[in-house]
Amino acid sequence: MAAPAPEHVRNIVLVGQDGAGKTSLAEAMLFVSGKTPRMGTTHDGKSYLDYDPEEIKRKFTISTSIAPIPYKDYKINVLDTSGHPDFIGDTLATMQAAEMALFVVDAVDGPQVMTGKLWREAEDMRLSRAVYINHIDREGADFDTAMALLHARFGGRLGAVTIPIGQGPDFAGVIDIIRMKARYFEPGGTAERVEDVDSLPAKYQEEARIARDKLCDLVAEADDELMMKYLDGTEQLTQEELESLLDKAIAQELVIPVFVGSTIIMQGVQGLMEDICTYFPHPRSHGRFQMADDVTVRIDETKPPCAFAFKTVSDPFVGRLTFLKVISGYLEPGLELVCGRTGKKERLGKIQVMMGKEAMDVKSAKAGDIVVVPKLNDVRAGDTLSCEGTIAIEPLPLPEPLYPVAIEAVSKKEEDKLGTFLARAAEADPTIRITRDEDTHQTIIHAMGEAQVDMLLARLRDQSGVEARLVPVRIPYRETITKGAEAQGRHKKQTGGAGQFGDCWLRLAPIPGEGYEFVDEIKGGAIPNGLIPAVDKGVREAMEEGFLAGYPMVDIKCTVFDGSYHSVDSNEMAFKTAARIGFRACCEQAGPIILEPWATMEVTVGEEYAGTIMGDISTRRGRIVGTDAGFAAGETIIKMRAPYAEVINYTKDLRSMTRGSGSYSLTLEGYEAAPADVTKKLVEAYEAARAAGN
């Protein structure tokens, strides 16, 4: 398996809904190839690929695993990805490293929401696609229904290359439509038994003939001259023509091959592996990468070394691991490359091939292959490594994390360890963003959803020994005034010796959208010039403390226009205190209100959910701005505005309302006066906290 030629490498990413059997397909391929001594399974925690404690606990894939599978003279890099929406960022990044996306679909449930989302992403990436209909031995499985659903969802380019012999409990094997053979994997055996289709009952022979005709219709389009003869009815595709054109048709997306089988009993797996090696695109012929300067490059082992980092992992035992797709040349231990983002040299200490959690050192890796390099501590997902550092592959735009939660260490002594862990987590997963809100003094995790946050907390506890808790995200409310007012601020204190005396008259006026303005209108030295800045400072401090509910005040013009002082007792502290007193006295007369932040949103949903979404947003005090047709058929884009407090956790609610199919963008944009009931709750909560000494 050391440094195979690009023509003998196949990079296949397994994608689709959780529960469809992606990991079990990879495990079956490993076992059939002889790479593993047993069939790994996820339900009992004995999977070779889902080895992370959180994956074992939750029984689904969280992070991409690689299964490098030797088959005949080929190396099949199977990239097993998560089908959970919270981990879609990792899946999308992994798809960049493959030439073929193999969608795994359950024979009973059909293509689900995540299947559709990832299908559109694969189309945008111009990835070749194939489908494996799994679990055809399940009760209620129906191949024709599954194919009809696939055609309805993804178009007429899908063509069956295998069909089942029986289905449900009667499933026994598959018919290879390309070679017109019946294939059976015997229980306890190590290879398939292959027979001619003629040995099957007439029913299956007829089904095979119909499926082959449909496949030939699609494949013939790969050759213009042959297509004309085929349409004229003067010529049919020969076996040789079908096999010679199929890889071209797949690469040109003229045909999307559909396989069927059952990974649990390993039916249809060995034939799939043969077709992967025979007909699926190899890196040099079909690999293409978009550069940051809009130039497209292809895999080429004759050019200087270059590699693209599509994933990083922080392993608690071996440290940082970087997953690389080799774009050009070849890599070997000791090679120095330059990171295009940082400009720093990175030395490749080891080149490894991963199989789940097991790493094996290799002497080199050629263009087109996928390898792992440890201890590249400054390399992030999306970086490009090259000889000069001048090459930069355009990283894939990832979805914005819109699920915010605030986190704090249980023990203040562990705040630094918490910060270090979160920084590493954000580097390893670009769909996690960590911010510090200086207004609310909270550390905020912006994630894709609840499951991603739960996983992060579990790893924080297990890997760093830090106990942390989630607390509600504080909404950045503001306070302001609605009318002008004047008041005196007078501070006098005598305690023996020098006392404190400050006296100022303030005038407040609202200035919407302009922040804060301080004006000095003192005449005749009523307050010495040297003490005027203390008045300004006292007002600013009072604005930070708020008046109604402890939120910072904004959009106020403050004018100091009169006052008095004492030649001995007046000082900066006294006038700061006087200004604070005067400011609060003004606020009592100035119609103080609370402002709440508003969000501008665009929600993309299927037409059948549009009414539900528009009805829901009205219950959140939101308003519809407009609607547009979506990019995909049957989609609607709803433009709306709503109070941020009402949609801060919209990710969870939208998934529930649309069965996981909806998506949205959100931008904080402007403030509006909070209604009376909201203001009352905020004031009561503030007063209760003060009474409790908080």
| Mean pLDDT, residues 608-612 taken together | 94
Q: What is the mean pLDDT of the chain?
A: 91
Give how far Cα 131 sits from Cα of 98, 472, 665, Å: 15, 43, 31
Q: Which pLDDT band holds residue 390 (cuts at 50, 70, 90)?
A: confident
Q: Which residues of 127-154 are buried (b: 16+ CB within 10 A; e: fewer)?
A: bbbbbbbbbbbbeebbbeebbeebeeeb
d(CA 374, CA 356): 15
The burial class, CB within 10 Å (0-12 / 13-18 / 19+), for 638 is: buried
Block residue for tokens 């089908």:
83
Q: DSSP letter at 407?
A: E
Sheet harboring 485-493: ordered strands across? 485-493, 500-510, 556-564, 516-520
Give me the CATH number covering residue 123.
Answer: 3.40.50.300
Instruction: Determine which helix (DSSP H) or strand (DSSP E) holds 355, and give its type and residue range.
Output: strand 352-355
Question: Picking from 42-46, 190-194, 499-503, 547-551, which range would have the lowest pLDDT averaged per residue?
Answer: 42-46
Identify whether 394 is part of a domain. no
How confident is the model at residue 357, as a pLDDT? 83
Question: Picking from 10-24, 289-303, 423-437, which range would have the lowest pLDDT averaged per residue?
Answer: 289-303
Say if residue 514 is in the same domain as residue 616.
Answer: no
d(CA 99, CA 325): 11
Angle between helices 415-428 and 450-464 (to 10 degrees): 120
d(CA 340, CA 323): 16
- Side chain identity at residue 5, one-letter code: A
Give me the CATH number covering residue 438.
Answer: 3.30.70.870
Q: What are the phi and psi torsion angles at 318 (to 5°)?
A: -105, 0
Give 581-606 as a 3 state SS string: HHHHHHHHHCCCEEEEEEEEEEEEEE
pTM: 0.87
Q: DSSP letter at 391?
A: -
The 10 Å Cβ neighbour count of residue 665 is 14
Say if residue 16 is in the same domain as residue 154.
Answer: yes
Contact indicator for 395, 308 with CB cutoff of 8 Å: no
Report residue 224 as tokens.
């213009």
d(CA 25, CA 263): 5
Say if residue 10 is in the same domain as residue 122.
Answer: yes
Identify whether 392 is part of a domain. no
Collapsing DSSP to helix, strand or coil, 508 comes out as: strand
Give 315-347 as a 3 state SS string: ECCCEEEEEEEEEECEECCCCEEEECCCCCEEE
| Mean pLDDT, residues 197-209 taken together | 95
Report residue 293 as tokens.
């300067």
Q: What are the phi and psi torsion angles at 417 (to 5°)?
A: -65, -35
How confident is the model at residue 234, as a pLDDT? 57
d(CA 656, CA 506): 53
User: With 90 as the cut, is the pLDDT of residue 494 above it?
Assistant: no
d(CA 130, CA 430): 28
Identify whether 254 is part of a domain. yes
Q: DSSP letter at 104?
A: E
Question: Picking from 83-92, 357-366, 394-403, 583-592, which range would have the lowest pLDDT averaged per residue?
Answer: 394-403
Residue finishing a domain among 279, 297, 319: 279
Contact indicator for 340, 389 with CB cutoff of 8 Å: yes
| Mean pLDDT, residues 258-286 taken together | 92
Contact indicator for 323, 312 with CB cutoff of 8 Å: yes
CB within 8 A of 501, min separation 6: which ones?
491, 492, 493, 565, 566, 569, 570, 574
d(CA 285, CA 388): 26
Identify whether 690 is part of a domain. no
Say if residue 623 is in the same domain as residue 609.
Answer: yes
Give me the CATH number covering residue 355.
Answer: 2.40.30.10
User: With 90 as the cut, is the pLDDT of residue 162 above it?
Assistant: yes
Residue finishing a domain among 471, 489, 504: 471
pLDDT tens string 634-676: 889 999 999 999 999 999 999 999 988 899 999 999 999 999 9
| Residue, of 648 and 356, whose pLDDT is higher | 648
Say if residue 422 is in the same domain as residue 550.
Answer: no
Contact indicator for 538, 575 with CB cutoff of 8 Å: yes
Say if residue 516 is in the same domain as residue 567.
Answer: yes
d(CA 186, CA 265): 9
Positive or negative torsion for Cα 250, 252, 255, 260 = positive
pLDDT tens string 422-476: 998 888 888 999 999 887 889 999 999 999 999 999 989 988 889 999 999 999 9
Residue 663 CA, chain-centre distance (Å), reads 12
Identify whether 691 is part of a domain. no
User: With 80 as the cut, is the pLDDT of residue 295 above it?
Assistant: no
| Mean pLDDT, residues 4-23 taken together | 93
Q: What are the phi and psi torsion angles at 327 (to 5°)?
A: -90, -45
Up-side HSE of residue 160: CA atoms within 13 Å toward CB?
Answer: 27
Pairing mode of beta strands 100-106, 128-134: parallel
CB within 8 A of 339, min separation 6: which ones?
346, 378, 379, 383, 384, 385, 389
Structural domain span for residue 531:
478-590
Identify whether 502 is part of a domain. yes
Q: Is 515 left (phi over 0), alpha (psi -120 to 50) or beta?
A: left
Block residue for tokens 């797949």:
250
How confident is the model at residue 694, as a pLDDT? 65
Say if residue 334 is in the same domain as residue 321.
Answer: yes
Strand partners, 598: 643
d(CA 381, CA 399): 15
| Residue, of 88 and 315, whose pLDDT is higher | 88
d(CA 447, CA 377): 23
Pairing mode of beta strands 288-290, 296-298: antiparallel
The burial class, CB within 10 Å (0-12 / 13-18 / 19+), for 201 is: exposed
Contact indicator for 594, 679 with CB cutoff of 8 Å: yes
Give how far Cα 690 sits from Cα of 323, 391, 693, Å: 52, 58, 5
User: With 60 as the cut, is the pLDDT of residue 379 above it?
Assistant: yes
Give me the CATH number covering residue 500.
Answer: 3.30.230.10
User: With 60 as the cut, is the pLDDT of residue 55 above it?
Assistant: yes
| Residue, of 692 and 506, whose pLDDT is higher | 506
Say if residue 356 is in the same domain as residue 334.
Answer: yes
Say if residue 49 is in the same domain as residue 182.
Answer: yes
Say if residue 448 is in the same domain as residue 348.
Answer: no
Sheet harboring 192-196: ordered strands across? 162-165, 173-176, 181-185, 192-196
Report residue 492 as tokens.
């006098």
Residue finishing a domain among 413, 443, 471: 471
Identify whether 533 is part of a domain. yes
Say if residue 104 is in the same domain as residue 227.
Answer: yes
Q: What are the phi and psi torsion angles at 676 (to 5°)?
A: -60, -40
| Mean pLDDT, residues 266-281 taken together | 94
Identify whether 398 is part of a domain. no
| Mean pLDDT, residues 187-209 taken together | 88
Give me the CATH number covering residue 660.
Answer: 3.30.70.240
How confident is the model at residue 305, as a pLDDT? 93
How confident is the model at residue 57, as a pLDDT? 82
Number of domains within the chain: 5
Say if residue 583 is in the same domain as residue 624.
Answer: no
How confident is the model at residue 442, as a pLDDT? 92
- Side chain identity at residue 624, one-letter code: I
How confident is the model at residue 544, as a pLDDT? 94
Identify how many contiguous H helices and E strands the chain contains and give both numbers.
18, 36
Q: DSSP letter at 258?
A: E
User: With 60 as the cut, is the pLDDT of residue 38 above it?
Assistant: yes
